[in-house]
Amino acid sequence: MHAFMADAREMKPDITFQVSFIGSCFDPPKAKETAFAMIGNGADILYDERFGVSDAAQDKGILAIGNVIDTRADYPETVVASAIRHFEPTLDKAIAEVQAGTLTAADYGDCALM
């Protein structure tokens, strides 16, 4: 999110953002409801992961940028790009540490692995 916002500011310094958290990693109905509220507050493009947000953008005829997975095939007229997360190296490291008996809690950015 922060990288997206920083890049957007480079292109348009006066851009404004609405940021909402739904308190869940995956709740499409709640995400859709929140996205509708943001659109009602003037959002003209949405950025978030997966479903719900893209559903709202599609319903309201605005564009969305996906995150984590590529949903362009599901929303060809709505999702114009997707920021893909490759978690596999982090997961591979954690599995190797579990197998070696050396796994400890660590901060991996936006995901905590315990």
Q: What is the pLDDT of residue 113?
A: 36
For domain 2-86, give the fold.
Answer: Rossmann fold (3.40.50)
pTM: 0.74
**Distance between CA atoms of residues 21 and 69, nearest Å:** 19
For 61-99, the pLDDT digits (tens) are 999 998 888 889 999 999 999 888 777 888 898 899 999
Q: What pLDDT score was predicted for residue 56? A: 96
Picking from 14, 77, 78, the residue whose alpha carbon sits closest to that of residue 48 is 78
* DSSP-based three-state secondary structure for 28: helix
Q: Name the strands in the sheet holding 79-84, side by side, starting at the edge strand that comes first in the sequence.
A: 45-47, 63-68, 79-84
Q: What is the pLDDT of residue 109?
A: 58
| Closest residue by Cα to residue 56 from 76, 74, 36, 71 | 36
High-pLDDT (> 90) share of the chain, %? 57
Domain boundary assignment for the chain: 2-86
